[in-house]
A and B are shown apart, each in its own frame.
Chain A
Amino acid sequence: MKFTLSWLKQHLETSATVQDIVEAMTMAGLEVEHVEDPAKKLAAFTVAKIVSAEQHPNADRLRVCQVDTVDGRKEIVCGAPNARTGLTTIYAPIGAYVPGLDVTLVEKPVRGVVSNGMLCSAAELETAEESDGIMELADNLAVGLPVAEALGLEAVIDFEVTPNRPDWLGVAGIARDLAAAGLGKLKDQSVTPVPSTFSCPIEIRLTAPEACPVFAGRLIRKVKNGPSPDWLQAQLKAIGLRSINALVDVTNLLSYDRARPLHVYDAGKLVGGYIEARLGQGEESLLALDGKTYALTTEMCVIADGSGALGLGGVMGGESTGCSDETTEVFVESAWFDPLRTAQTGRATGIASDAQYRFARTVDTGFIVPGLELATKLILELCGGEPSEIQVAGQAPAAPGPIVFDPAYVTRLSGLSVDAATSLDVLTKLGCTVSGTGSALSVTPPSWRRDIEGKADLVEEVARIVGYGALPSTPLPPVNATSSGVLTPRQNRARMGRRALAAMGYSEAVTWSFTARKTAELFGGGSAAVVLSNPIASDLDCMRPSILPNLIEAAGRNAKRGFADCALFEVGPVFAGDQPKDQRTAITALIAPHAPRRWDGGAAEDVFTIKSDLLALLDELGAPTASLQTVQGSASPWWHPGRSARLQLGPKAVIAEFGALHPRILAALDADGPVYGFELWLDSVPEQRRKSKARPGYEASSLMPLSRDFAFIVPVDQIAGDLVKAVLGADKVLINGARVFDVYQGTGIEPGHKSVALEVSIAPKDKTLTEAEIEALSAKIIAAAQKAGARLRV
């Protein structure tokens, strides 16, 4: 919303500057967005008089003018046809920035004659859309007068009103707050009724009190409509409103002046002698004043007469009864429409009119008849006429009730040291009625402040008018030490996981929690419960079941930009449903390996790279990596079926999946392979339960560990992990490790088989092992391997 200083001064006696007012508005809770100050913007432009205008020696259409300016007499070349001797106009000196031309004036000869400045048109100053020649001003204006003053241009303050303060949608309401904040004295805003001569012949019917509980109206006969007087046109134009005609302009004026929207009907066009506020009947439509036709639903409040719908109550009137210059009888409506219904109608129709905006935010229930009286007074002044008596149908919603209030609560809640008298003074200035004494006052908010519902609201009123600047800065009381940290184990693990992966060379990405439904379906998601009904884009319409697709798409995008090599990770939510328990935190990483070629022929990254990083990460997170089972063949279908696995503690305790991504998935997501990745579900990693911070006892044997190598022949499809597990189980005391160091298939090995070589680490416990004991252990190892389907390679 916008207003000008002079408009404000109609309600507030003040000597405050625009800057003071902006500051006070901000500190009262009105967010000023912008101040357009022509005095500042056009400071360089001043009134000047053309002393003589003569034909340019070298150009037919140019004149060389001698001009009296604020800088003395200047020779200025001008191309305007109206540049004539004796004209009072506007002068811009060299160096001035001309907004309408977007140029800064420089001294340069025009066809051989130097022009020492410029004479300006209204368009060049942006005070009019277009203009025909330079400005023609009244001759009594003094040379040197700033143009803003000469044209009566005022600063326009543009600000935002929070939805709780509909009273600020009228300048009078802003004046009230500024007066309370000490910026001036509020002028008398009371309204004197206009004498009426006859009873209103038009009946008002209310058949939907839930939509329109009260409707006041009156007929004014013998009006003469036409253009508004200059002052009204200028006042509306200053804040960006278009003048229509006097009757309509009066309603717009009061909408902005008193936050009181009204409607005027050409009574000559009303049919049936009545006007009705009812609900839409379906199958009904309205040609509204904006020239569009709207279907009227049974949810909307409709104003109708004997001929049908005339308008959408509180939203927009219709063409059929619009007031024109031919209007001689006008019916003026001052009603109260239900805010929620008006808001819904606004949404449904897409109409955001000044009236709709105000009714949706609640209009003052105490200013229905006074608003009508004020409108009548203005109409009589501008258009003449004879008003009927006011007819009021229905009853306005009850005014806000009293609030029990202890002034000490101001200090308790805000910390401000404000005495009771100051609090009461503020509340009274804002329109509250205060009765009672001591700590049990009764404070009744004014009818225009329905947002004040309880004692905390009263504290806010006092605090904001006294000023938040006076708030003390009070340290929080110390709390019992949080020496053990403030993060839950899961939060801590997410943090450690993030930094561990970053240290391993992965870049952290943060991607949308949503994806395309068809992508979600590729990753086991896409159920109806997680599909958005109003997505921001059709390819972001479903909550992600996995972070993988987002990272794969990111890798694809990076490759298309020429950066194919990437290692990305994300720590974030994945969704299996719409309930809190369905949300899990995943740590997901991928590598799209396109590392630079190497002169030393080093090995390329492969699926074992991602396995290595995953296990290192799990170690960092304190997961029981030694007990993890690597299960192949049951990982999700978006992985390469032969090159992916699950890491699990048991079939129902899957901690992670890793592998190469399935080529079909990559193709669907427009990424080139190979891509390796893992997804780790943080919530599945069991939390370590340690009672003490102390580590378990340290046992380092003084005996030399030893190792023995074994090569076994196993069928090709037997996984090495089973063999390793069998060997480890051969003697759980002495054997503390077994690691595959060679896998061989080919000459010397029968077809369908492979040789797997293991280095078994042996840690003697209390004495060095004898050769015989080592032999016995070897036999146990070979026997265990045989049980697992392997035989020693000889």
Chain B
Amino acid sequence: MTDLATLEAQIVGAIGTASDLASLDAVRVSALGKTGSISGLLKGMGALSPDERREQGPLINGLRDRAQAALATRKADLESAALDAQLASEHLDLSLPAPPRRRGGVHPTMQVMDEMIAIFAEMGFAVADGPDIEDDFHNFTALNFPPKHPAREMHDTFFFEANAAGERMLLRTHTSPVQIRTMVSQKPPIRIIAPGRTYRKDSDQTHTPMFHQVEGLVIDRDIHMGHLKWTLETFVGRFFETSDVVTRFRPHHFPFTEPSAELDVQCDRTGGELKVGQGQSWLEVLGCGMVHPNVIRNCGLDPDEWQGFAFGMGVDRLAMLKYGVPDLRDMFASDVRWLSHYGFSAFAAPTAAGGLS
């Protein structure tokens, strides 16, 4: 049956020389289309005798299968080549810049506030807050500053003009008024911190008219200075992320605590860089003490029943110490270069698992 062999050679040859999908399809139609050569043969089988069909059938079917397979192979090759050609034409210079995207950041003061909140949250402190514009009672009188006392002068208070009621509002000089607001509105036991903005009329490299504090207050029946010491030692160790931090409690005076203390941290200042946990210098970190019985009484509690401690620390200052910020005023200048240099990633929220910094 040289006819079939010739036909097959012819078809295979045509498939092989089809240079694109269109000419390949023309080959398919000429062989396997309605009027195609192989289709004709298949159709013609009906007219054959059973013997001839038995003989011719497999041959013709075989020819059809091989032609289909050859077409498929060739089609895949041509498609692949076409895709390669298309991809080659789609070449892009990827050294070109992508659309610009700004990198944002969290301000170091706010980052450090989050760190402090995380540390104290682990110790069971809730977060309280109060208004920035305070009255004399909450900022001074209730905190045991007698009227006209020189201790008030040391606070460099910003005042507003007297209002209709004759009351002179002021900008809180510390976060301690939140102690009063908490003790007045909440029954002990109390364990809170109060972060927030505070204001004093002062401006130089280490003072700005606005700054941030975190206040702490613990009131219960048997809280003593030893608890204060543990709490702050624990805080300082966690905050500076060193286990061998050495602290020192030093007597001091605040009208609203008795006894009062300042906490120093041992540090090394040689070489212009501050290292906590080594060295011979002391760095004042915060003020603290046992809440003055008068303050407890001013909040309607009995100081013979309830006692506890309070502390207050400068957030910006601790941020500067921890992250090596040289000038406090820069913290509030909103210079984009500074913000990008000292800012923190949005995703760097301090956690117990991920570490504080």
Residues on A facing B (Cβ under 8 Å): 26-29, 31, 162-165, 339-340, 343-344, 347, 360-361, 411-416, 454-457, 459-460, 463-464, 468-469, 471-479, 482, 485-488, 491, 495, 498-514, 528-536, 540, 543, 550-551, 554, 557-558, 561, 563, 565-569, 571-573, 575, 578-580, 582-583, 595-596, 598-600, 602
Interface centre among A503, A511, A535, A568 (most CB of B within 10 A): A503
Determine the distance from Cα of A535 to Cα of B126 in the docked complex, in whole angstroms.
34
Q: Could you tell me if A554 and B334 are in contact, using CB atoms closer than 8 angstroms?
A: yes
Interface residues of B in 117-170 (CB under 8 A from A): 117, 120-121, 123-127, 129-133, 148-151, 153-154, 158-161, 163, 169
> Nearest Cβ distance between residue B252 and chain A, in whole angstroms?
6
B292 touches A415 (CB 8 A): no
Q: Are B105 and A476 in contact (CB under 8 A)?
A: no
Cα A528 to Cα B106 with chains together (Å)? 34
Identify which of B248, B260, B331 contacts A460 (C-beta below 8 A): B260
Q: B126 and A469: CB pair below 8 A? A: no
Question: How distant is the Cα of A598 from the Cα of B98 in the complex, in angstroms?
Answer: 9
Which of chain B's residues has its CB closest to A535's CB?
A: B158
Q: In the complex the two chains form, is A531's CB within 8 Å of B161's CB?
A: yes
Please give me the 3 A-B residue pairs with the lowest Cβ-Cβ distance, nearest first: A415-B226, A29-B251, A460-B259
- Indicate if B97 sits at the interface (CB-CB under 8 A): yes
A413 to chain B, nearest CB (A): 6
Assess A532 versus B160: contact at CB under 8 Å? Given A162-B252, A503-B347, A513-B199. Answer: yes
Chain B positions within 8 Å of A, measured between CB atoms, are 96-97, 99-107, 109-110, 114, 117, 120-121, 123-127, 129-133, 148-151, 153-154, 158-161, 163, 169, 171, 189, 191, 197, 199, 201-203, 209-210, 218, 220, 222-227, 229-231, 233, 248-253, 258-261, 290, 292-294, 303, 307, 331-337, 339-340, 343-347, 349
Residues from chain B with Cβ under 8 Å of A536 in the complex = 158, 201-203, 209
CA distance A360 to B209 in the complex (A): 27
B334 touches A482 (CB 8 A): no
User: Could you pull out 19 A-B pairs where Cβ atoms are within 8 angstroms?
Assistant: A29-B253, A343-B153, A344-B148, A413-B224, A463-B259, A476-B223, A476-B227, A502-B106, A505-B101, A513-B210, A514-B209, A530-B133, A540-B209, A558-B334, A566-B336, A569-B104, A571-B110, A572-B197, A573-B132
Are B229's CB and A473's CB within 8 A?
yes
- Shortest Cβ distance from A495 into B: residue: B114
Query: Are A529 and B105 in contact (CB-based, < 8 A)?
Result: no
* Alpha-carbon distance A580/B172, docked complex (angstroms): 12
Check B96–A599 contact: CB distance below 8 A. Answer: yes
Question: Does the CB pair B114–A533 fall under 8 Å?
Answer: no
Measured CB to CB, the closest approach of chain A to B129, in angstroms, equals 7
Q: How far is the CB of B187 from chain A (nearest CB, A)?
A: 14
Pair B127/A491 contact, Cβ less than 8 Å: yes
Complex Cα spacing A554 to B331, Å: 13
User: What residue in chain B is nearest A471 (Cβ atoms)?
Assistant: B229
Known A163-B151, A504-B104, A583-B132: A528·B161 in contact at CB below 8 Å = yes
Q: How far is the CB of A573 from chain B (nearest CB, A)?
A: 6
B224 touches A414 (CB 8 A): yes
**Beyond the given A507-B343, A567-B102, A568-B336, could you list 13 further A-B residue pairs with CB under 8 A, ordered by the A residue number?**
A454-B294, A469-B249, A474-B224, A479-B191, A499-B346, A502-B104, A502-B106, A502-B343, A505-B103, A507-B340, A551-B334, A569-B104, A598-B100
Question: Contacts of B229 on A, CB cut-off 8 Å?
Answer: 415, 471-474
Q: Is the CB of B199 within 8 A of A486?
A: no
CB distance from A755 to the nearest CB of B (A): 30
What is the distance, in angstroms, from B299's C-beta to the closest C-beta of chain A?
15
Q: How far is the CA of A130 from the CA of B233 in the complex (A)?
A: 51
Residues from chain A with Cβ under 8 Å of B334 in the complex: 509-511, 550-551, 554, 557-558, 568
Tell me the bound Cα distance from A566 to B340 in angstroms. Answer: 11
Q: Is B251 a contact of A471 with CB atoms below 8 Å?
A: no
Q: How far is the CA of A507 from the CA of B336 in the complex (A)?
A: 8
Tell me the smallest distance from the CB of A403 to a CB of chain B, in Å: 12
CA distance A469 to B264 in the complex (A): 12
**A551 surroundings in chain B (CB, below 8 A):** 334
In the complex the two chains form, is B150's CB within 8 Å of A563's CB?
A: no
Q: With A471-B226, A540-B209, A578-B163 in contact, is A502–B105 under 8 Å at CB? A: yes
Contact across chains for A475 and B347 when beta carbons are under 8 A apart: no
Docked Cα-Cα span, A595 to B101, in Å, equals 9
Cα distance, A360 to B158, chains bound together (Å)? 22
Which A residues touch B222, using CB under 8 A?
412
Which of A550, A558, A578 lies in contact with B336, CB distance below 8 A?
Answer: A558
- A473, A491, A505: the one within 8 Å of B102 (CB): A505
User: Taking each of A460, A482, A488, A528, which has the highest tally of chain B beta carbons within 10 Å of its own beta carbon?
Assistant: A460
Q: Which residue of B lies closest to A596 (CB)?
A: B100
Known: A468-B261, A474-B227, A486-B126. A27 touches B250 (CB 8 A): yes
Specify which of A339, A507, A600 is in contact with B339 (CB 8 Å cutoff): A507
Given A464-B259, A482-B121, A602-B99, the answer on whether A511 and B250 have CB atoms closer than 8 Å is no
Chain B proximity of A478: nearest CB distance (Å): 7
CA distance A455 to B303 in the complex (A): 11
Quote the shortest CB–CB distance from B315 to chain A (angstroms): 10
Query: Cβ of B248: which chain A residues have Cβ within 8 Å of it?
Result: 468-469
For the complex, give the distance between the alpha carbons of A26 and B189 in Å: 34
CA distance A464 to B257 in the complex (A): 14
Which of A340, A468, A500, A550 has the most C-beta atoms of chain B within 10 angstroms of its own C-beta?
Answer: A468
CA distance A49 to B334 in the complex (A): 64
- Bound state CA distance, A566 and B339, in angstroms? 11
Taking a contact as CB atoms under 8 Å apart, the answer to whether A361 and B345 are in contact is: no
Knowing A510-B109, A530-B160, A533-B159, the reply to whether A491 touches B129 (Cβ < 8 A) is yes
A413 near B290 (CB under 8 angstroms)? yes
Most chain A CB within a 10 A radius of its CB, from B202, B343, B346: B346
Give the shortest distance, in Å, between B323 (CB) and chain A (any CB).
14
B209 touches A512 (CB 8 A): yes
Inter-chain contact A500/B346, CB cutoff 8 Å: yes
A residues near B259, Cβ cutoff 8 Å = 413-414, 456, 459-460, 463-464
Among B222, B226, B294, B303, max chain A CB count under 10 A is at B226
User: In the complex the two chains form, is A499's CB within 8 Å of B124's CB?
Assistant: no
In the bound assembly, the distance between CA atoms of A582 and B107 in angstroms comes to 26
Q: A463-B225, A485-B121, A502-B104 are in contact. Are A600 and B249 (CB under 8 A)?
A: no
Asked if B132 and A513 sit within 8 Å, CB to CB, the answer is: yes
Compute how far the CA of A486 lies from the CA of B210 in the bound complex, rounded to whole angstroms. Answer: 26
B227 touches A578 (CB 8 A): no
Interface centre among A485, A532, A569, A598 (most CB of B within 10 A): A532
Residues of B within 8 A of A540 (CB): 209
Cβ-closest chain B residue relative to A482: B124
Contacts of A472 in B (CB 8 A): 226, 229
List of B residues within 8 angstroms of A528 by Cβ = 161
Residues of B within 8 A of A486 (CB): 117, 120-121, 125-127
Chain A residues near B261 (CB-CB < 8 A):
468
